[in-house]
Amino acid sequence: MKLQSASTRRLVFRLNDAERDWLVEVLSRYPVVPESHATLTRQGDASLREHEQLLRDSLTEQRHTLRARIKVWLAAPGRWLSAGRGHRLIVPREDGEWLLQVFNDVRVGSWLRLGAPEELTRDPGSLPVGQQMDFALMELSGVFQMVLLQALDEESGP
């Protein structure tokens, strides 16, 4: 996935077939972080329990909103254009922030499913088969996140 052009309104990426399939796979996995993961305080302050519930309710609502938005977004007319052997993906700049949140949910959630290791393995082949998909999703969502982040920082072209 490479940035092809950036304007004030939109970003255009070029993807090959495999990248497109993985992008759709990553987005369709959302949400991955468990709802119980959100905490307001480190030590569990009992006096703020009600506030913590509000935080969780707010994040749950966000998950529902984003999950519905992803489906509509992926299927929107003009989202994908064929480009020779590959594809062009059109991303309005205003969608950049929620897409970053989605990619990072899949990244952090996959990391949690791996047991939240302090050191990220460089040898995914050594992982149990059941965790290799989590590792792949963590890495790929990180790649998409970084490409999008760099593109959002890109100066607008003509």
List the one residue from 1, 12, 19, 145 that touches other proteins (CB under 8 A): 145
Comparison of 15 and 138: residue with beta carbon closer to other proteins: 138
Type of residue found at 60: T
- Least Cα distance to 104 among 69, 136, 146 occurs for 146
DSSP state of 47: G
Span of 7-15, 19-27, 83-91, 116-124 interacting with other proteins by CB under 8 A = 116-124
Q: Which residues contact 98 (CB under 8 A, 6 or more apart)?
A: 66, 69
* Residue window 42-61: x/- pattern of binding to other proteins, with contact defined by CB under 8 A: xx-x-----x--xx--xx--
Comparison of 38 and 83: residue with beta carbon closer to other proteins: 38
Q: Which residues contact 86 (CB under 8 A, 6 or more apart)?
A: 14, 15, 16, 17, 20
Range list of β-strands (E), 23-121: 80-83, 86-92
- Contact status: 118 vs other proteins (CB under 8 A): yes
- Least Cα distance to 144 among 9, 6, 21 occurs for 21
Comparison of 81 and 146: residue with beta carbon closer to other proteins: 146
Q: Which residues bind other proteins (CB under 8 A)?
A: 33, 38-43, 45, 51, 54-55, 58-59, 62, 97, 100-101, 104-105, 107-108, 111, 116-120, 138, 142, 145-146, 149, 152
